[in-house]
């Protein structure tokens, strides 16, 4: 069962920039399809098994874990946003549903010097995001897209969503969020992708 209380709708700042052309960052082409991109194979996940949890840990006073049911019980928001992939496609007007990230981070009581998070997914995938961008109003832990459950290839049961950055910063199959004082390159970043990944500045590769 899932929380069905009425929810609010948040439009990402980049989605309010104007015409589709105004909303297309440099070097990007618009697509209507939603391509699937990731390293390795789609993991088979049983989120209601006791082994599955989402952990908040690292530099904080109150590390904790949530079960998938705990997450489904939390109030949700709808996010209207554009997606920009570093491989040059952008898809406008996506509606994702999920749980706002900022209160979940606050609940762990981060130490005052926390500046970055490292998202941890199934099979060791990681990606780093500055805390400030990760707790923006349009960042959620998403489990629905266009009203339907996310498909496994797009990250079901749970993916991060950070609309202000290239899509590789939105980790699929999320299992943990590590609070950190210092930045550390994640999986694609170790392979040469940018530490920050702002699509408007074309922060694709290199640090």
Q: Which of residues 168-207 bind ligand MTE (CB under 6 A)?
A: 168, 170-173, 188
Query: Which of 103, 191 has the CB closer to Mo ion?
Result: 191
**For the chain, how many helices (H) and strands (E)?**
4, 12
Buried b (16+ CB within 10 A) or exposed e, 72-94: beeebbbbbbbbbbbeebbbbeb
State the binding partner of 175 from ligand MTE, Mo ion, none, CB within 5 to 8 A by kind.
none
Which residue ranges make up the site for Mo ion (CB under 5 A)?
37, 86, 168
Nearer to ligand MTE, 110 or 174 (CB): 174
Token code pair at residue 90 = 């952008």
Applying CB under 6 A, does 84 fall inside the site for ligand MTE?
no
Least Å from the CB of residue 200 to Mo ion? 17
Residue 18: asked if its preceding bond is cis (omega within 30°), the reply is no
Determine the 3-state secondary structure of 152 from DSSP. Answer: helix
Q: Which parts of this chain interact with ligand MTE (CB under 6 A)?
A: 34-39, 85, 121, 125, 154-155, 167-168, 170-173, 188
């Amino acid at each position: 069962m899932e929380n069905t209380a009425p929810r609010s709708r948040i439009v990402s700042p980049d989605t309010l920039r104007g015409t589709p052309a105004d909303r297309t960052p440099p070097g990007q082409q618009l697509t209507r399809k939603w391509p699937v991109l990731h390293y390795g194979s789609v993991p088979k996940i049983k989120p209601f098994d006791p082994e599955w949890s989402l952990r908040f840990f690292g530099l904080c006073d109150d590390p904790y874990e949530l079960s998938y049911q705990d997450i489904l019980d939390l109030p949700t928001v709808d996010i209207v946003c554009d997606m920009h992939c570093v491989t040059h496609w952008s898809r406008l007007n996506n509606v994702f549903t999920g749980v706002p990230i900022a209160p979940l981070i606050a609940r762990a009581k981060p130490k005052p010097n926390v500046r970055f998070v490292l998202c941890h997914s199934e099979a060791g995938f990681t990606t780093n995001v500055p805390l400030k961008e990760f707790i923006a109003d349009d960042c959620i832990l998403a489990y629905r897209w266009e009203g339907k459950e996310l498909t496994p290839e797009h990250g079901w049961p749970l993916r991060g969503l950070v609309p202000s950055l290239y899509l590789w910063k939105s980790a699929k199959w999320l299992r943990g969020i590590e609070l950190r004082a210092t930045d550390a390159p994640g999986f694609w970043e170790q392979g040469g992708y940018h530490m920050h990944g702002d699509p408007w500045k074309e922060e694709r590769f290199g640090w």
